[in-house]
Amino acid sequence: VTRPAADEVEARLRRHRAELIDEALRFPAVYREYQRYQGDYDLAALQRERMASLLAHAAARVPVYRGLAVDDPISTLARFPLVAKAELRANLADHCDDELDPAQCRAVFTTGTSGQPLRVLHDADHLAHTAALALRRAVRLGLPFDRKVLHPFHSNLDRWVEYTSAGSGFARVAEFGSTGDEAYWSEVVERIRGFRPDVVVGHPTACVRLAELLAGLDATAPVAVLTWGERLAPGMAERITTVLGAPVLDGYGLREVSTVAAQCASGAYHIEGERIWVEVVDDSGAAVPDGEVGELVVTNLVNRAMPLIRYRTGDLGSLAPAGQRCACGLPHRMLTLVEGRTPGSLVRPDGSRAPTIVLLRKLARLPVERYQVVQVARDEVRVIVKRLDGFTPEHQRSIVEDAVALLGAAVRVELDLDGGFVAHGGRKAVDFVSLLPEGDR
């Protein structure tokens, strides 16, 4: 990993300052919602009210949902179609509010399983409610508004940077780059010890790296380490807690909807029910009983600019029964996450297994709108893509070469460049389908 060029870092910092001003201007709305959330309210009633209002809005003003009948919010929701990322990307404008005001929105970009990034618009309400609930989580941990936050290891920084984030309640934030020489790392360690963060926020791998950097040194323990964005393995949490002397609380979310659930002090993931409704479905898209594992499907109850309703996350998990309470006392429903996004294995002619994900990751880098790997037989694999501009014969050759490198020359690789995707159960967008007999997979 090389250090980012100084002019790229300057450009990034300039963009970041502009974002900080934008967030600061939104803070009055954040604080207003935060105060409302400090009051007493019935979560279930709030959810029904927000769901009813969202679905009525969608049916009236969002093209893909136009005219859908809306009555009881929960049974109405079940009649709305599931939405997969590829469909959303292909049909973006039809998922937006007819009377959208772009000046009030911010766009987030997600990459992921199919090459092209997806743009999702968040409106002012979404931004205010998301920030207000994040602030409430911080305050519940005993952190003040003007807390000190450390974001360790930024690959696009070449230095230590500090700033005040008015938009998150006037937090003092420090970040530092992830590459440098010995002198750089001694400086970073000294700065961390001087900064004395109240809270560390980052991907689990970055927090583990921070623990390695500070191991054996005497540094003040933060109140908590908040992780997000990657699976937090138990060994990682243990390592972080041992070195930094603070509990690790993980969050689960998607850029498309921001935080979905966050861990409480008892370790349970509580759904952020004020903003997010979660369902769990099987391969055919039907609801599974509470406690059973399936694909998590989320609805953003707040964002109107581009309502995400029954959006398929591709992640696996299960819902605790609605009435089940956590020891921490929160009324928010609990979610169990299961190692998700594991597409299963390809089987070679000799019966050995090959990780499909290796092939899928390579396909994800090609100029294709969507891709799918289908194992037809032990010695036959079909790769289906829907090409975008810029797809060349070299890309075509690379697909075959990558498949042969993974599976061996005895496997016949068939290519379909025009998107004749295979449906699997009721799921429209699965990246890997195995047609081998059940016992052979």
Nearest to Zn ion of 67, 329 (CB atom): 329
From 98-106, 213-221, 257-265, 359-367, span contacting Zn ion (CB under 5 A): 257-265
Give the integer Cα–Cα distance in Å for 290 and 236: 29
141 scored as a contact of Zn ion (CB under 5 A): no
328 scored as a contact of Zn ion (CB under 5 A): yes
The secondary structure of 132-175 as a DSSP string is: HHHHHHHHHTT--TT-EEEEEEETT-SSEEEEEEGGGTSEEEEE
268 scored as a contact of Zn ion (CB under 5 A): yes
Contact assessment for residue 315 and residue 295, using Cβ atoms and an 8 Å cutoff: yes
266 scored as a contact of Zn ion (CB under 5 A): yes
How far apart are CB 270 and Zn ion at their closest, in Å? Answer: 6
How far apart are CB 143 and Zn ion at their closest, in Å? Answer: 18
Q: Count residues binding Zn ion (CB under 5 A).
A: 6
90 scored as a contact of Zn ion (CB under 5 A): no
Nearest by Cα to 308 from 80, 30, 125: 80
264 scored as a contact of Zn ion (CB under 5 A): yes
How far apart are CB 141 and Zn ion at their closest, in Å? Answer: 13
How far apart are CB 325 and Zn ion at their closest, in Å? Answer: 8
How far apart are CB 326 and Zn ion at their closest, in Å? Answer: 3
Nearest to Zn ion of 102, 331 (CB atom): 331
From 5-13, 145-153, 267-275, 392-400, span contacting Zn ion (CB under 5 A): 267-275
Distance of CA 357 to CAs 109, 310, 327, 432, Å? 22, 25, 38, 9
* Structure-token match 């996004």, residue found: 341
Task: Please list the helix, strand and coil fractions of the chain in percent, rounded to the nearest 5, in that order.
Answer: 35, 25, 35
How far apart are CB 222 and Zn ion at their closest, in Å? Answer: 20
Give the integer Cα–Cα distance in Å for 329 and 367: 49
Nearest to Zn ion of 148, 333 (CB atom): 333
324 scored as a contact of Zn ion (CB under 5 A): no
How far apart are CB 308 and Zn ion at their closest, in Å? Answer: 26
How far apart are CB 322 and Zn ion at their closest, in Å? Answer: 15
Nearest to Zn ion of 263, 356 (CB atom): 263
Contact assessment for residue 308 and residue 271, using Cβ atoms and an 8 Å cutoff: no
Nearest to Zn ion of 261, 385 (CB atom): 261
Nearest to Zn ion of 219, 330 (CB atom): 330
Give the integer Cα–Cα distance in Å for 272 and 261: 5
Nearest to Zn ion of 83, 268 (CB atom): 268
404 scored as a contact of Zn ion (CB under 5 A): no
Nearest to Zn ion of 268, 308 (CB atom): 268
**Residues 6 or more apart from 176 whose CB is under 8 A from it?**
152, 153, 154, 157, 159, 160, 161, 188, 191
Nearest to Zn ion of 335, 347 (CB atom): 335
Amino acid at site 27: F
* Structure-token match 């379909």, residue found: 416
How far apart are CB 264 and Zn ion at their closest, in Å? Answer: 3
Work out which of 210, 271, 320, 326 binds Zn ion, going by CB under 5 A: 326
CB crowding 389-414: b at 16 or more within 10 Å, else e: eebeeebbeebeebbeebbeeebebe
Q: Applying CB under 5 A, which residues contact Zn ion?
A: 264, 266, 268, 326, 328, 330
